[in-house]
Amino acid sequence: AQSVTQLDSHVSVSEGTPVLLRCNYSSSYSPSLFWYVQHPNKGLQLLLKYTSAATLVKGINGFEAEFKKSETSFHLTKPSAHMSDAAEYFCVVTRTNTGNQFYFGTGTSLTVIP
């Protein structure tokens, strides 16, 4: 079975400081992992994806994530937060060989303080 745990329900950072959103995964198979962002009253936008290629994945808007198999983690980072980064972030896992069903975490709400 696949699942993800987002370790923080809320994260608050000051503008210009680093962002770290934590995600641990559980998968019986080789996983594919994704991070999505959701702004208020909007759908979800793909930030980045890991599909068993390079373990350090770069995404849009300066975000990146590192796949660490030994720690079963896929944490999302950004060197410098911008006000527009304030949103809900979801970590997602699926099975690499089928990709049929995506399993979402419960989300992390990011607040950026000016």
Partner 1 sequence: DAGVTQSPTHLIKTRGQQVTLRCSPKSGHDTVSWYQQALGQGPQFIFQYYEEEERQRGNFPDRFSGHQFPNYSSELNVNALLLGDSALYLCASSYSTGRNSPLHFGNGTRLTVT
List residues near partner 1 by CB under 8 A.
32, 34, 36, 41-46, 49, 51, 90, 94, 96-107
CB of 110 to partner 1, least distance (A): 15
Q: How many Cα neighbours within 13 Å face the side chain of 41?
A: 0
Looking at beta carbons only, is 50 or 81 nearer to partner 1?
Answer: 50
Q: How many Cα neighbours within 13 Å face the side chain of 21?
A: 35
CB of 46 to partner 1, least distance (A): 5
Looking at beta carbons only, is 27 or 32 nearer to partner 1?
Answer: 32
Q: What are the phi and psi torsion angles at 42 (to 5°)?
A: -125, 165
CB of 80 to partner 1, least distance (A): 25
- Where does residue 62 rank: exposed (0-12), middle (13-18), buried (19+ CB within 10 A)? middle
Looking at beta carbons only, is 24 or 96 nearer to partner 1?
Answer: 96
